[in-house]
Structure 1
Amino acid sequence: MNVLFIEDDRMNRRVVRDMLDVAGVTMVEAESAEDGLGIIDEQDFDILLVDLRMPGMDGITAIGHIRARGDAKGRTPIIVVTADTAVDLRERCLAAGADDVIFKPVAMDILFDAMGRVLASREDGMIG
């Protein structure tokens, strides 16, 4: 499995990388939404993990760009990984095209549960 994590904080990327390494999942890192969009152009991913609050382009805008693609990459499952606790956050993320939302600090069981849900939904034909 190949995952892209778009996250500006190096420590957050490292924590998630360590969790994914345990399961043998390959993780590519992007320090900004702009970098992430460029990486998506070059590589295929099974899941995208996207932070919301980053310098430059925010995660909601990045999700919009991904979903606006006219190809299979635009249908890649997206899990928002955020510390934001706004009341309507989940609804805003789902409306933007995210498939799930998890909160920082990321717990391994919650991350893997979310990944399993979005992949199972893809296999059931519910996503994309």
Structure 2
Amino acid sequence: MTPEERRDRHLLVVDDDDRIRKLLKEYLVRAGFRVSTAADAAGADRLCAALDFDLMVLDVMMPGEDGLAFTRRLRAKGGETARTPILMLTARDQTQDRIEGLSLGVDDYLGKPFEPQELLLRIEAILRRTTARPTGPRALSLGRCAFEPERGELTCDGQAVRLTEAEVALMRRLARAVHEPVDRLDLARDTADATGRAIDVQVTRLRRKIEPDPKNPRYLQTVRGIGYRLAPD
């Protein structure tokens, strides 16, 4: 991202550790972003009520309402704030927290301890996906739903359906090879989990949004021994 693009983006960092919160703000401000901070979910609520944010950096372990509970409540609210991308910070060995976070709609995660440069790159990757313009078909018909790869938008029965940035990226990747199987580990290379478990979680969530019967998918198919295939009408 250019310095001008960073200046246009406002980030919210939520972490109860004063030292980490201060260091993250200083680093991201030096990188060119506008940054606000909160020490807990209550503080984040107050800021979100007054300001719009392009992305949240959210710690899992916080006193009171933890990061997972906050994400669940935020996503259930609806509206613009509920669609704010979230990068979650977790203890490196807490795999279950990461899987649960993805299932709740977290866009990406980063294990502690981490390099600030990696945090910056992950933030930029999420923000770039919000304005990506991939080539491919204008709209894909998925029964009562439709997905527009260029805009990264999913509608069902004419109503917009929220997708996380990770889900948009996955749908766009599959849309570039409609009716063709895409290797699961190839898809995983674009995530922080090279095992492919994050992809499996995203596919499960997408099926709930797209498929009439998620347990017997018609449009987002599993190709045994390979990966997944998008099969529009």
TM-score normalised to structure 2 length: 0.52
User: SS at the partner of 2:103?
Assistant: helix
What are the within-5 Å matches in structure 2 for residues 75-94 of structure 1? 75-94=83-102
Structure 1: tracts of 5 or more residues without a match: none
Aligned partner of 1:13 in structure 2 is 21
1:48 partnered with 2:85? no
| Counterpart pick for 2:126 among 104, 118, 121 | 118
- CA offset digits 1:11-48 (Å, max 9, x no partner): 01011112102212111111111211221111100110
Aligned residues: 128
1:65 partnered with 2:56? no
Structure 1 segments, 4+ long, off by >4 Å, are none
Aligned partner of 1:3 in structure 2 is 11
Aligned partner of 1:105 in structure 2 is 113
In the alignment, the residues of structure 1 paired with residue 28 and residue 115 of structure 2 have an alpha-carbon distance, to the nearest angstrom, of 11
1:127 partnered with 2:164? yes
The code of the aligned residue for 1:52 comes to V
Aligned partner of 2:38 in structure 1 is 30
In the alignment, the residues of structure 2 paired with residue 106 and residue 42 of structure 1 have an alpha-carbon distance, to the nearest angstrom, of 30
In the alignment, the residues of structure 2 paired with residue 75 and residue 103 of structure 1 have an alpha-carbon distance, to the nearest angstrom, of 23
Higher mean C-alpha displacement, 96-105 vs 81-90:
81-90
Structure 2: tracts of 5 or more residues without a match: 1-8, 133-151, 153-162, 166-233
- CA offset digits 1:41-71 (Å, max 9, x no partner): 1110011011011110000000111111221
RMSD, matched Cα? 1.6
Cα contact 2:59–2:67 (8 A) shared by 1: yes
State the shift of 1:93 in Å. 1.0
Larger helix fraction of residues: 1
Q: Larger relative CO (CA 8 A, sep 6+): 1 or 2?
A: 1
Cα contact 1:2–1:26 (8 A) shared by 2: yes
Percent identical among aligned pairs is 29
State the shift of 1:87 in Å. 2.6
In the alignment, the residues of structure 2 paired with residue 127 and residue 80 of structure 1 have an alpha-carbon distance, to the nearest angstrom, of 13
In the alignment, the residues of structure 1 paired with residue 14 and residue 78 of structure 2 have an alpha-carbon distance, to the nearest angstrom, of 21
TM-score normalised to structure 1 length: 0.90
